[in-house]
Structure 1
Amino acid sequence: MVNETVKSVSTQNEDATNANQDVTMVISKMQKALRIKPASEFKPDYGNDKEKMSFLADKTKDIEREISNIVQNNDLYGAVGVSGNVVINLREAAKNGIHVYGMEVNREHGKDERQTGESLLSDGAQMWLNVITYKVAKLYGFGIKKLANDKDDKHSPQDEDIVLLDGHGRMNFLMQYDVNDWPVVYAHFPSKDALSYYNLSKVMETINVNIKTWTTSNYVQKRILQEGDKTHEGWVRINNLIKRGYNYQAACQLTTLGTDRVMKKDVNGGDAEHIFSNYNDAVYVSEILINRFGEKEDKVVKTKEFTKEVSFLWQKLQKIGGNSYATENMVEFIKCLPEDKVIEIKRAKKTNDGVSKDVNRTKILNALFKDFITHKNIQLGN
């Protein structure tokens, strides 16, 4: 009886100990969840990339000197120095001959540009813009572009001109009006990161990615920004085709001669030389294709299915004769397409039995290709 009592008490003590341990674990987890991370722990992760940090250190000094230069020329920019940064009056700067440009790589603006622009004129500019100078853009290898509504075709970019990192839509709207009709629009240089570097590629990512979920094509723009003048021209071509209204997958296929889009993981870290191993052939074939079909409202070459089929047929030729053989024959094939068949492909529509216009277009293309290889006595095999 005594042994049973002792055993019972021991079991109760063990259960209590386990319960206490469980409570302790729960409290510990709650404390960790409630812990506010010290501000000092928030730092960008550059790892051991000494080359990257050396680049940022050098460029940070250059930007600091540029900010100091603008403050010293405050009459030109309507500028005021503030805690190591500078605030610029863009209306005053524009009146004094400073030109405003946009970034070549920048997300396109939607239907809100007009609404936002009208608000600027009626309610004033309540949000400041983020800018650099053209001199700084060159240091980072950033391309710039004239804003769509800029009517000045004679001005060439000067070091002192302003380049927008943020505010493209707002400034493009104002460019429709005489500068004297602009509201006062303030802008400042970007801020340093927690390690006191000016990392402008990260600035562009932060400005954009936290506003709207990025598509893979946006990450193409990010890669171009990160790599600057070292970026492979394939990325630039994909980006430019998208700006011309091409579907992302079509732009990829016309730049790689692949049968699919360049996936996000490859955009973010893939070997560009591998991704664009067929780049020169792709450019040649696609330019002949675009020239043959045009870029009008039928969008034959701007959508994925037709360009996918062209890449597929090129790959068939490549398997039996290599790149040069495939490209030579594909270019000949495209150039020899009968005009009536080109028109038929462009005008293809969805049939009554539900076959899409894309399928009909590829059927016509394949029939023509079969005739071509038969005439050329080309044996593709399986």
Structure 2
Amino acid sequence: MALKSKSGVGPKFGASIRLKDVAKAAGVSQGTASNVFSKPEVVREEVREHVLTVAKELGYGGPSVTGRLLRQGKVNAVGVAAIQPLSYFFEDPWARQLMSHISAICDARGAGVALVSALNDERLAWNIQSALVDGFVLLCVEGGDALVEITRQRQLPYVALAIAASDQSIPTIGVDNVSGARLAAEHLIGLGHRRLAILSTMMSHDGGGRMSEAQLEAATFSTSRDRVLGYWLAMDAAGIPRTSAAVFETREDEASTHDAMAEMFAVSEPPTAILAMSDKIALYGADWLMRHGIAIPGDVSIVGFDGVPEGATARPSLTTVEQPMAEIARLAVDAALGVTHVEGRQMLQTRLVVRESTAPPHA
């Protein structure tokens, strides 16, 4: 005898259709209806076709993929969040390099990557709570306490990069910025440079241009603070006064970097070497020098920080302090997928890569 739908038992028009509604309308058990969608090979063909017809009549499209994945507990995907516009992942050389390594690792493991917007405070909680991922990598969370706290509430594995919070319980992967910056300054001093200037990444949310001692003391971004300290330690060891190396803060873009460079060289004795806190602003600074006929390294040497690919292909190629990006990415992906657990702060060492942008100063 042919199977028939039970009339009058379906949900009212406009109601949310669930699997149990389909089962009831088709006159089968909920288990059988579930098998039609998840294990169709174990259901007789006539029963399967009947249940699918009833489901179509009721407007039921099948079980929620999201719900099924969440019930299984693993989705094999990493969420990457930053308190930056999503364009940051594609435009910033450091973030782009990191994402390239993360993507390669996830490809090799057959895992996915989801970019999560954390810029909008009003949508932050929803974006983190609704992301279909196994764990999170939090980028550039200077001042990102809310992002960390909301991620913690999700109770999934996570790891933070470049965080300044004093909470030692936050699992963090970073580099030793003090020793890395000291390597850069020692390199220039070893070449014979004594007139140094510092081209800084953001020290705080406000400011720009030459920084006073009070502004340096009030700086809120730990990465910039640590790097200037590393430069100073090398200068201390060489007997060069800290105050002799002016610090010029940028907003980490071309316009503010060019403004800082103009101010830096508007003096009778400009620097013979520049310590740039990132490769990005080092390359902006090098562009300004070349536009103004100042030779690199003939007139001015410049050292960056990060080790992004663009520095190696620049002309002249950029001497830099290289971060171990592949290792950072591997550790971050392992932590986000729950393969390993980062305890407290895990600090990695940098290395100096000497290229064409540095040389001894003119006599």
Greater radius of gyration (CA): 1
Between 1 and 2, higher relative CO (CA 8 Å, sep ≥ 6) is seen in 2
TM-score, scaled relative to structure 1: 0.24
Structure ranking higher in strand proportion: 2
